[in-house]
Amino acid sequence: MNTAARSPLLQRLLPRTLRARLLLILGAGLLLAYALAFALLFAERMDATRTMMLRNLYEDVPVSVALLESLPAQQRAAWIPRLERRTYRYLLRAGQEGMPLTSTRAHQVTMLIDEALDHRYSLRARAVSARPERYEVELRLKDGAPVTIEVTPAPMPLATWLPWVLALQGLLLSACAGMAVRLATRPLARLATAAEQMDLAGQGAPVAQDGPAEVVMAAQALNRLQSRVAAHVAERTQILAAISHDLQTPITRLRLRVEAWEASAAQDKLLADIDQISQLVRDGLSYARSATVATGPALRLDLRSFLESLVADYQDAGKAVQLADGPSALHSTHPEVLRRVLQNLIDNALSHAGSAQARLRVDEAGTACIDVLDRGPGIPDDQLAAVLQPFHRLEPSRSRSTGGTGLGLAIAQQLAQALGAGLSLSNREGGGLQATVMLARR
């Protein structure tokens, strides 16, 4: 399987966050190194234990056999328990019938016993058990009495406190790895948040330039990027403002000349085209300015009272705008920007449905949502996201004959983003459109 085929599977198996991935890699590496160190230590301990057993056996067997040779036959049984060791013991009987020795260690021990006894005795070795390993080496004393050396190799037992110490060390290493990963990823998370909240108008506070050298360099680059973007957007806005200002004069002059004509159908068409050009220029300037709106400090706002005031302004102007019953909610936001968002949505509903309804609600996650509802023709489902793009128009339900330029919803979208809010559109049951402003929780 090639690398391209393995990559998606690897991506699915790995955690999604960088912090979790680093913890997984460091934790697995530390545990693997820890296990390897423990295995090497255990192997060295086993080798040392084996060496110690062979040395003790080499020194102990000649003394024990000589002692049994010197003792009367009736006293030998009393001394047998005193001669017993952890891995071998002496038995005053003949060896059991078993299998010939197969393991290298058993042959080595037998040769060691023979060498320790200076080859003075005829040895008979038999394997009695494979698991656990046990074998016997039989010899005959000078008086013909049998003596069997039963060998049961066993590793040095581990202390009962050792697993607890190992577990404590593992937890300590994991805690240190977690702290190191947190120190490494926290500046990255702060940079990501700063990039997400970057103010295109250049009014936002610069990113703090502290932490490791690499993070300081990234913060400096992000601050420079923010300055360049703000300068570019400001230049674009100034160009559009200048163009709009310069176009107003010839548009006004053109209007005056057309109005001086005698009334006719051609004059009405020309005046309608002039109005459309003038509206397009104004909306284009509004869209450019909405990308660099200066929000200023947020204010604690009673959203219910705010909507009542907004709806009352429309009603005073004779517009068919109503406020639905709903809860009260407090939210820290920027009232003027939020008012512009809702005005664009309400104006859009009035243009295409003739009436609108505003509604305040709080969803299950505790997010304050403001809905603008209408009973107009709605929008095809596959066009709901596209209409939020500038100059995107629908035919025939929302055509130029309605007076729109395709910028109202795009301006609302940009202003909502400046608030840190979300804007979504959906069709209502029974016909009509629902525009929802989801205010970010603070």
User: Is the distance from CB of 267 to CB of 254 less than 8 angstroms?
Assistant: no
Is the pLDDT score of 91 beyond 80? Answer: yes
Is the pLDDT score of 287 beyond 70? Answer: no
User: Is the distance from CB of 358 to CB of 436 less than 8 angstroms?
Assistant: no
Q: Which pLDDT band, with edges at 50, 70 and 90, does 5 fall under?
A: very low
Q: In this predicted model, what pLDDT tens digit does every residue of 217-270 receive, in sequence order?
A: 888 888 888 888 878 877 777 777 777 777 878 888 888 888 888 888 888 888
Q: Which pLDDT band, with edges at 50, 70 and 90, does 154 fall under?
A: confident
| Higher per-residue pLDDT: 341 or 182 | 341
| Higher per-residue pLDDT: 49 or 199 | 49
The model's pTM is 0.48
DSSP per-residue codes, 33-53: HHHHHHHHHHHHHHHHHHHHH
Report the 10 Å Cβ neighbour count for 89.
16
Report the 10 Å Cβ neighbour count for 139.
21
Q: Which pLDDT band, with edges at 50, 70 and 90, does 397 fall under?
A: very low
Q: What is the pLDDT of residue 291?
A: 58
C-alpha distances in Å from residue 127, one per residue of 130, 137, 147, 241: 7, 9, 16, 102
Distance CA 435, CA 81 (A): 94
Q: Which of 21-30, 198-207, 276-285 has the least mean pLDDT?
A: 198-207
Q: Which of 32-36, 379-383, 390-394 has the least mean pLDDT?
A: 390-394
Q: In this predicted model, what pLDDT tens digit does every residue of 342-352 receive, in sequence order?
A: 998 999 899 88
Q: Report the percent of the chain where pLDDT is more than 70.
A: 85
Is the pLDDT score of 157 beyond 70? Answer: no
Distance CA 39, CA 37 (A): 5
